[in-house]
Each structure stands twice: as structure tokens, then as C-alpha cells.
Amino acid sequence: MNSWNHSIHFCSWVGITCHRATQRVLILDLEDKQLVGSIPPSIGNLTRLIEISLGINGFHGEIPQELGRLRTLESLNLSFNSLGGKIPTNMSHCTQLRVFDLLSNKIIGLIPSQLSSWLSLTVLQLGRNNLSGTIPGWIGNFSSLRSLRIAYNNFQGSIPNELGHITTLKIFVVGENNLSGIFGSVYKGVIPSDGTVVAVKVLNLQQRGASKSFNDECKALRSVRHRNLLKIITACSSIDNHGRDFKSLVFEFMPNGSLDLWLHPRDEEQSPSKRLNFMQRLNIAIDVASALDYLHNNCETSIVHCDLKPSNVLLDEDMVAHVGDFGLARFLLEASNDHSLSQTMSSQLKGSVGYIPPEYGMGGQVSILGDVYSYGILLLEMFTGKTPTDDMFIEGLSIYKFAAMALPDHVMDVVDPSLLLDLEADGSVNDDRYEMTVLPRRNNRRVVKEKKVEECLFAVMQIGLSCCVVSPRERMLLNMVVGKMSAIRDSYLKVQEG
């Protein structure tokens, strides 16, 4: 077998291996070999296997029940195939399993309760499948678990309280529209007296930390006033009709939803209408920077938002951005005096993995420079179209490195494709760039316009990178960001009007 291609009969090969080498094979590594077909049940005869890696192939059919025979198995990677059916319940016998990776398949059904026996698990990758039901609370018993990726499935309910006990756990939940958040759910409502449409955040008081989140958000919102901060109308702390505590916050309704839904539309049919053009992205980025600059530098006591991400940036009817969700906000004086805050932050910020500054993960105190880091990541996301937890960011590659490697000469290679479509439509860039280089006199104004767009995009990426460098002391402060981003917008407008 000197060439690995789709013509290999994997079933026969494994059958031979099982017959001749049952007692010898410890690792089966056939990742990214262009293999197709189903995974043969005979793989269960390799009883001494400790690692199976069949990712990035073309396997289909169901996961063989026979894998449950592999009692010594520690790692199973079946990611990036087309496997369907349900997760076999008898895989509960693989009690030594540390890594279980089903990322990007077509698996359906519930997470079987029998898998609660996997107490040695450190990595559970279930993202990009068709799993349903609730996320089981017994996952919180996996004290060694470090990474839980469940994004882009059909889970219902809420993130289990039990997961909060694993302070080192990173949870990836982007794309889960039916999971409403850790501390509560948001509903659209109407005030009967005048018909005003509002957003009502109802706290889930069964969730550990929800009451504190409510108090912190009330405290923060009581002392801030800015056009780019989400306006609170009222707060309610009462008893519901079952005699249980009830707490809610009523906000001004934002008809254009969150920035996250515009950057990453869930419905492909709605994608064209959910497309932000270059000027809109610049304006939103400036709005967000202005809101953070106000919190950091213009409040009586500096406030650190602590949870900046696209889903917490809301857009009104005029596409003006408003930063919301102050449930994790901290007054800077309070943060500096609270020596237990590091542990608290570690347990509460898991839902925003990718935006958390590295110093928080190492026990550092919260600071305005942490918000700067989150802003830098958000800015790169807005103009590349990539989330910081995108599946492409593996083996040391990050959204920071993705953008940094493209500068200075290849900035257009990492720009959000939907943004390029809009720039092409309004004549700001041309797909046939060779023609524009060879025949500059044919349309000199368009060449100048295209060059200016590239300069603006390069400058924006530079700001993003300057905000999310690892060293906090080297990050660009938000008041400077506002000035530089405004200058980029003015420069772009002059070319558009010229």
C-alpha cells in the first residue's frame, strides 16, 4: 500500500490487520488519507488499541457498536467525516477514554446517559452535528475535562449549573440558538400602557451566580449614560405566581438584533440582507470603542465590561451599536480590592472563550486592558468574518496570527468574503486586479479608490492587532482607538465623495 487514496478498501485492510496483529496494534492512525466507506465492525477486534485517529476522511454510515469492546481505548478521533446515526451507548465500556472527537459529522439523537462513566475525559468534541435534547448535568462530574465543544447542534434548555464547578473548563457554544445563556433568557415584550416594544431579560435564579449578576448589572447600569450603551428602562425584583423569587431587567428593544447575527447569519437565505458593508462596520466599531472609552475614562469610577463579544453588541433601527449585558461588569476600584475575583472570573467567563485576555486565564486582575483585548478580537472578527473559535484555528493558529500573517501585503486575502462582495458592487475593489494594474489609465479613479480601501483595511487590522497583543502594557487604549478609527472613516469618506 504505497499510495493512500479513495480506492483503498479500508474494510478489507482492517480485517487483515485484526486477524494478523490483534495483539500488537496499539495506535491506528489513518487521519486525512482520503478513505471512504463505512468503518468496519472488525475494528472492535483490535482489543489492545489505545488510540484511533480516522479524522478528515470520507467515512459514512454509523459508528460501530463494536468500538465498545476497546476497554483500553484512550483517544478516539472520528472528526470531519459524514458519520450518521447515534452515539453507541455501549461505548460506556471505554472507561479509559480521555479524548472523544466527533466534530463535524451528522450524528443525531441525545448524548447517551451511559457515557457518564467516562470520568477520565479531558476533551469532548461534539460540535457541528445534529445532536438534540439537553446538555446533561453529569458532564460536570468530569473533573479532568478541559474542552467541551458543542456548537452548531440542536440542543435545548440551558447550560447546566454543574459545569460551573470545573474552573478550568473551556466551553464552545456559539451557534446554539436554543440555549438562551448562563444567567437568563431574553424575551421580546410590549408595555401595555403605551405599546412600547422592549427586551426583557429574565434571570434564571437556579443558576449559581445569577442573583449576583443581576445586582452587578443593576449597579453598573445605574451609573452610566451613553448613546452607545444599551439603555435600561426598569428592573424588577419580586415573587412569581408560584411564590418563587423573580428578577428581570427591561431594556430598550434593538430591532436589528445582535452584531453576531449580522456577522454570522444562521439562515443562508437571509445572508444577503444580513450583510454589513464597509462603512457600517467602521461605524459599529467606532460605536463600540466609544462605549468602552466612556466606561474606562469618563465614569466616576472606571468600569470594566468583562464580556465584550458580538452577541453583546446590539443594533438599533439606524444600525447604531449599543453595548449591553453588564452581568459580569466590575468597577475598577472593587476589582483591585477583591482578591478572590480571579477565581470568580475563571468560573464565570467560560461562555466567552476566544475573547478573554490571556492574563485572566493566568489569575490576573481584571483591568481596562482586558476589555481592550476583547475589542481587538472583535475588530478582527468584524473584518475577517472569522470567529476566534473557528474550526480552522488549531495547532497554534489563532485569529490574531491569521490576520498578522497577511500584513502588510495580503490584507485582502483575509477580509470577510461578504465584505468584498459589497466593495466590488460599489466599485471600491475590482476582481480583475491584474487588468487594473496593466491599464491604470482605463479607470484611474477606481484604482485610487481600491488602493484607499486596502489602506483603510490594513489600518483597521493594525489597530485590531495592537489591541490584542499578549502583553497588556503594549495594547492601544480605547481613547486612541476612537481617534484612529474615526480618521480611517474620514479618509474613506473623502475618496467615496471624490
Residues with catalytic roles? 307
Q: Name residue, grid cell 467602521.
A: 282
| SS3 label, residue 78 | coil
What is the full DSSP assignment across 286-311?
HHHHHHHHHHHHSSSS-EE-----GG
CA distance 489 to 495: 10
Contact 173, 154 (CB under 8 A): no
In degrees, to the nearest 5, what angle opens at C-alpha 374 toward C-alphas 370 and 377?
Answer: 140
Which residues have a Cβ under 8 Å from the Cβ of 74 and sit 6 or more positions away? 50, 51, 96, 97, 98, 99, 120
Q: Judging by beta carbons within 10 Å of its beta carbon (0-12, 13-18, 19+), is residue 373 exposed, middle or buried?
A: buried
Grid-cell match 415584550, residue found: 189
For residue 64 the three cell numbers come to 460501530
Q: Which of 278, 211, 230, 225 is CA-nearest to residue 416?
A: 278
CA angle 40, 46, 50 (to 5 degrees): 110
DSSP symbols for 206-253 = TSTTHHHHHHHHHHHHHT---TTBPPEEEEEEEE-TTS-EEEEEEEE-
DSSP state of 60: E
Integer angstrom CA distances of residue 438 from 202, 407, 444, 447, 452: 61, 24, 11, 11, 18
Place of cell 490483534: 22
| 8 A C-beta contact, residue 386 and residue 354 | no
Q: Given the C-alpha cell 482489543, which residue does it identify?
A: 47
- Using alpha carbons, list the distances in angstroms from residue 219 to 190, 235, 430: 25, 11, 50
Q: Is the peptide bond before 408 cis (omega within 30 degrees of 0)?
A: yes
What angle, 0 to 180 degrees and rounded to 10, lies between the N-to-C axes of helices 278-297 and 417-425?
A: 120
